[in-house]
Chains A and B, each alone.
Chain A
Amino acid sequence: MKLSSGTIRLIIPAVSLVLLLAAVFYMQPRAMSYTGLNLLFNLAVPIALATIAQMLIMSVNDLDLSMGTFVSFCACVAATFLQSSPVLGILIFLGAIAAYAIIGVVIHIRGLPSIVVTLGMSFVWGGLAVLILPSPGGTAPTWARWVMTAKPPLVPMAIVASILIAAVTHYIVMRSSFGVLMRGVGGNDRSVERAGWSVIGIRAATYALAGFFAILSGIALVGLTTSADANIALRYTLLSIAGVILGGGQFVGGKVSPIGAVIGALTLTLAGSFLSFMRISPDWQIGAQGAILIVVLALRLALNRLEKREKSQ
């Protein structure tokens, strides 16, 4: 059977995840248990959701630099309004989704670089988060807490959630008509426009969907940490971008893979634990994490070359 280029792009992230996991199990056999796996991957769930949100934005050739502050903002809302008066909380979230759709429309109509607009928005979200929660605090809604700490039989929640996220987004992005249009805008927006579709509408819907997944990420994060802070998820901006790229996505051209993105998020989380198990001092951890990223991306480049060479023969 001939492998499609999409499948080949998935192999590297999957293989690197398995290798990292094997290394962790080798160094710490006790991690090879229900609780161990749950602890290893717990924090991956919000990162995976944020990565999916980033991937949606990247599928229309844009980049969201406000992902981290937006997830922080959502976490703050979840820990305060959503907990105390759910209706108001949901209204705020709906407003945030509308704001994302409007950002998409503005970027499209004015032809602005998404990086600039979202960088500006990151200060807006950051400011709102500080207004809501000037100091760390708040309480997670009980249901969010319940979902994130649930103990399904056999497989830990973190794994179940990751598989669920991957399956649902794979359906939306890769199988549904909307997903095709969205990736079509990334691949060649003029041809989508010439076929009579509204590219503005598609972009707005894509941004709104990204906002929705970022909100889920914020809620999941609060469900894990029980309280929130205005700076709780600042790293998510770069983590989400790295996760998409690690998972075989590309910055332009509408080439994205939801399954890959979730695997990328899991790999990034695991890389952190791996380095701790290696007893690398925290001073070096960020550098070492970067080194892991470079190795994986280099592998991907090598595979791309191989693929190209095969094609030219």
Chain B
Amino acid sequence: MTETLKREEVVAARGIKVTFGAVKALDGADLVIHAGECIGLVGHNGAGKSTIVNVINGGLSPHDGSLSYSGNETHGISAARANGVRCVFQELSLCPNLTVGENARIMHAELKGWNWRGRALSLVETQLREIFPGHSIDCDLSIDDLSIAERQMVEIAISFAGIDKRPKLVILDEPTSSLDAGLAAQLMAYIRKFVAQGGSVLLISHILGEILSTSDRIVVMKDGRVVADRMASEFNTRSLVEAMGNVVREQEFARAAAAKSGAAVLSMPPRRGHGLSFQAYRGEMIGLAGLGGHGQTEALLDLYLDRNSNWWPTQKREIAFVAGDRSLNGTFPLWSILKNLSIASLGQLSSNRMVDRGREDELGAGWKKRIEIRTPDMHNRILSLSGGNQQKVLFARALATTATTVLMDDPMRGVDIGTKQEVYEILRSEAANGRTFIWYSTEMDEIRLCDRVYVFRNGAIAAELVGEEITEKNVLAASFHEGDAA
């Protein structure tokens, strides 16, 4: 600790207070980042992590407290950028209509003058190769044409790239949320290299393993304050979760035994003409595993469209869908929390084709209590909620319907552990009541919760794991079979 104190302060935020109306987003938070260190920042959703990031990158001016870059007290987006602060945001912040090179032009104002296209392209390509060796991204494509993981890789590469001077501090907000294990490991290795060369990284992640293995120092936030700030070696998963204020719950391995009873609720022939076929039985929790983007989402969509017409509304819905990309196809951003929740069950809520307001409010109040949506009023805009709470509303939307099967497309992306635990519990009890869950997840912990797991590879089901066979080792082995791992 004494050693780091002697190093140059890249950013020092002390006693920062930010309030949004009555909500204290930051209540006197301190965060000092020195050159050549990687700081892990953890905390619940709504603990103030994103707010302090926005203060450091200049997007928000603090209402109280001092903020200095390399010793100079100043603030604003351009001041932050001039001092070498770069930020990779949780929600992707590239322009989807532009090519990779053009996005680099926007992020790097220095790329001007003759042949900036060529220079931008070589800049991104070099950086991509350095961070993710062996990637296969075509930098001439527009961002639209890239997969979500590729977009994240491009954004990370653009942020780490430097023309005249390298960035001093790169803030990574959930950088691995869409990356599979292999790419995440490449990124973590690069972060260590970058830090060793004197750069600093502020790493925000819900994957505690990454935080523990990659950071030098870990800062824990809770309710807008920093509650712990110690060397990473002094933490382990349990103490880290305790510091965040969650109690580590022992994982229940009481899987529903012999769940395969009766006829399959859903089934699908082998995809792409090879691999295994898919079956789901009543009350089962089925995981779709494998590396990101190997056909899991498409399989979910096919299952959904198999039962629900693309054209006509179905009278009695048997399947509900929880979207993964909540800003793209989950929430109605202009609507209230209640409207977002009740949209899927308006059929049950209406009499004579008119929505019964009383029953709608009742439904909202019930779910608010059951899944603890943290809001004073269900009529507030959905965007007033933190990301994790928005996701809870989307869960409630699916669970409030009469659907017996719920499809989930990696819904826990960027949700904090506390919320996850709450949702897992609800899922368990719903499954016990006979609902079937089909769950695509990129996180091993979630896959381990399932009764049965189908591992996808190259668009087809490569393996089926049941009960005790579901281990990280087996899933990985099935995802990378026959040496065709790209």
Residues of A within 8 A of B (CB): 2, 4-6, 175, 177, 180-181, 183-184, 186-188, 190-197, 253-255, 311-312
The answer to whether B340 has its CB under 8 Å from any CB of chain A is no
Contact B116 A4 (CB under 8 A): no
A312 to B81, CA, bound (A): 38
Quick one: given A192-B106, A193-B77, are A5 and B95 in contact (CB under 8 Å)? no
The answer to whether B105 has its CB under 8 Å from any CB of chain A is yes
Contact A194 B87 (CB under 8 A): yes
Rounded to whole Å, the gap between the CB of B125 and the closest CB of chain A is 17
Quick one: given A5-B142, A311-B145, are A188 and B77 in contact (CB under 8 Å)? no
Nearest opposing residue in chain B for A175, CB measure: B117
A186 to B106, CA, bound (A): 13
Quick one: given A187-B98, A254-B95, are A194 and B59 in contact (CB under 8 Å)? yes
B94 in complex: contacting residue of A6, A188, A255, CB < 8 Å: A188
Contact B298 A183 (CB under 8 A): no
* Majority secondary structure, A binding face: helix
Quick one: given A194-B57, A194-B59, are A187 and B95 in contact (CB under 8 Å)? yes
Contact A190 B98 (CB under 8 A): no
Nearest opposing residue in chain A for B76, CB measure: A196
A183 in complex: contacting residue of B94, B98, B117, CB < 8 Å: B98
The answer to whether B409 has its CB under 8 Å from any CB of chain A is no
Interface size of B by CB at 8 A reads: 30
Quick one: given A196-B77, A197-B106, are A191 and B97 in contact (CB under 8 Å)? no
Nearest opposing residue in chain B for A250, CB measure: B97
A190 to B57, CA, bound (A): 13
Contact A4 B142 (CB under 8 A): yes
Quick one: given A4-B142, A194-B59, are A187 and B109 in contact (CB under 8 Å)? no
Nearest opposing residue in chain A for B96, CB measure: A187
The answer to whether B78 has its CB under 8 Å from any CB of chain A is yes
Contact B102 A180 (CB under 8 A): yes
Contact A197 B109 (CB under 8 A): yes
B144 in complex: contacting residue of A5, A190, A312, CB < 8 Å: A5
The answer to whether B93 has its CB under 8 Å from any CB of chain A is yes
Residues of A within 8 A of B298 (CB): 312
Nearest opposing residue in chain A for B87, CB measure: A194
Quick one: given A183-B97, A188-B96, A311-B145, are A196 and B105 in contact (CB under 8 Å)? no
Contact A177 B112 (CB under 8 A): yes
A190 to B107, CA, bound (A): 12
Rounded to whole Å, the gap between the CB of A155 and the closest CB of chain B is 31
A190 to B117, CA, bound (A): 22
Nearest opposing residue in chain B for A181, CB measure: B106
A192 to B105, CA, bound (A): 10
**A177-B112, A183-B95, A195-B107 given; 13 more Cβ-contact pairs under 8 Å:** A5-B145, A183-B98, A184-B95, A186-B97, A188-B93, A191-B95, A192-B95, A193-B77, A194-B87, A195-B81, A196-B77, A253-B97, A255-B97
Contact A180 B97 (CB under 8 A): no
A106 to B88, CA, bound (A): 30
- 25 residue pairs A–B, Cβ–Cβ below 8 Å: A2-B138, A4-B141, A4-B142, A5-B145, A177-B116, A180-B98, A180-B106, A181-B106, A183-B95, A183-B98, A184-B98, A184-B106, A187-B96, A188-B93, A188-B96, A192-B106, A193-B77, A194-B59, A194-B77, A194-B89, A195-B81, A196-B77, A196-B78, A197-B106, A254-B97
